[in-house]
Amino acid sequence: MFRLITGIAGPSGFGSASTAEQVTQGIDATNLTVLITGGGSGIGFETARVLALRNAHVIIAARNIESANEAKQLILKDNKTAQLDVLKLDLASLKSIKAFADNFIALNLPLNILINNAGIMFCPYQLSEDRMEMQFATNHLGHFYLTKLLLDKMKETAKSSGIEGRIINLTSVAHLHTYDEGIQFDKINEETSYSDTKAYGQSKLANILHANELSRRLQAEGANITVNSVHPGLITTNLYRHSSIFIKTLKYLTYILWKNVRQGAATTCYVALHPALKGVSGKYFVDCNEFEPGTFATDKDLAKRLWDFSNKFVDAA
């Protein structure tokens, strides 16, 4: 907590006060193609901006194409040589995800880095078009399916280029506040027991479990791809539009702990690009430093069960 408040750097040399530009200073991402979901606003936009600044080719995948194109123009205004493309993606729709993946693969681009950044938070109870609780559908299943569809492309890119691929799942400290069983597999769509905050925590726990299980599987097959989870910190973005009065009041009272967007994108950019993390996989990062997640997040049996549950759902859709 002291380090969070003061911004004092950790073992990596960076801390909560570090910005995305600072943690990538001197890194040249030329010849790297990065796909980021939700790159049109908030920390996703800042991540896209900084990665483009470091000469990566950035693909912004977004549900709101108009907003994403506006974001693209904002980046180009200050960085006229930035390589940016925008593609439509609705993570709450498996049909949209499949169409996106088909469109991306048809472009015949490499894919070095996948950043599963987009998300929703504290939403009122609702189901996705595929009949899944919306926060779980968007935050976890959407990214699970997207990653599955693009994984072969990432393997091909890593093999042909000799450059390590990296997958980053954005999660949250909220993974500590979930349902009693961690993931409510048997009651995932139950409205009577629904809690907007616990459902969010459940989806963020799923992000870590997904990253850990995928990391284990890729390591077992010798693939040159790492997978890690990132908690960006407490950041003022439009994610909080569904927040209760209590959460908004708590946010006001704890303002000293909150980051700005440039600080909020730092850990994502650090894990995506920094050479110090070569070969590092299956880890959880906070403030650009490795951190120990909650007990559920390190449960290998839970991770395996979630993997099987998620596969079964997306394959049946």
pLDDT in tens, 26-47: 999 999 999 999 999 999 999 9
Are the C-beta atoms of 309 and 185 separated by less than 8 Å?
A: yes
Whole-number percent of the chain with pLDDT over 70: 91
Checking if the pLDDT of 119 tops 90, the result is: yes
Location of structure tokens 């570090």: 18
Let me know: does 130 contact 137? Beta carbons within 8 Å: yes
Which pLDDT score is estimated for 257?
A: 63
**pLDDT tens digits for range 198-255:** 999 999 999 999 999 999 999 999 999 999 999 999 876 554 444 455 555 544 444 4
Q: How far from chain centre, in Å, is Cα 275?
A: 20
pTM score? 0.93
Q: Rounded distance, CA 276 to CA 306, Å?
A: 30
Q: What residues have CB less than 8 Å from 295, skipping those under 6 apart?
A: none
CB 170 within 8 A of CB 230: yes
Output the six-digit token pair for 154.
Answer: 């990432």
pLDDT digits 0-9 by tens, 252-295:
444 456 789 999 999 999 999 999 999 999 999 999 999 999 99
pLDDT at 72 (0 to 100): 98
Say how far apart CA 301 and CA 153 lie, in whole Å.
28
Q: For position 202, what pLDDT does the model report?
A: 98
Question: For residues 288 and 232, what is the distance between their CA atoms, to the nearest angstrom?
Answer: 9
DSSP bridge partners of 226? 166
Q: With bands split at pLDDT 50, 70 and 90, how would you rate the model's confidence at 8?
A: confident
Using a 10 angstrom Cβ sphere, with 0-12 exposed, 13-18 middle and 19 or more buried, the burial of residue 19 is: buried
Give me the residue label for tokens 């909080």: 240
What pLDDT was estimated at residue 254? 46
Q: What's the whole-number average pLDDT of the chain?
A: 93
The HSE-up count of residue 266 (CA atoms within 13 Å, CB side) is 27
Token duo for residue 74: 């904002």
Residue 252 known to be catalytic: no
HSE-up of residue 289 (Cα within 13 Å, Cβ side)? 17
Q: What is the pLDDT of residues 293-315, one digit of tens each?
A: 999 999 999 999 999 999 999 99
Catalytic residue among 125, 145, 194, 252: 194
Summarize pLDDT for 78-108 with one digit per residue, the tens: 999 999 999 999 999 999 999 999 999 999 9
Q: What are 154-204's pLDDT values in tens digits?
A: 999 999 999 999 999 999 999 999 999 999 999 999 999 999 999 999 999
Q: Residue 34: which residues within 8 A CB-CB, separation 6 or more?
A: 51, 56, 57, 58, 59, 112, 113, 114, 115, 272
Nearest C-alpha neighbor of 235 from the set 252, 260, 253 = 260
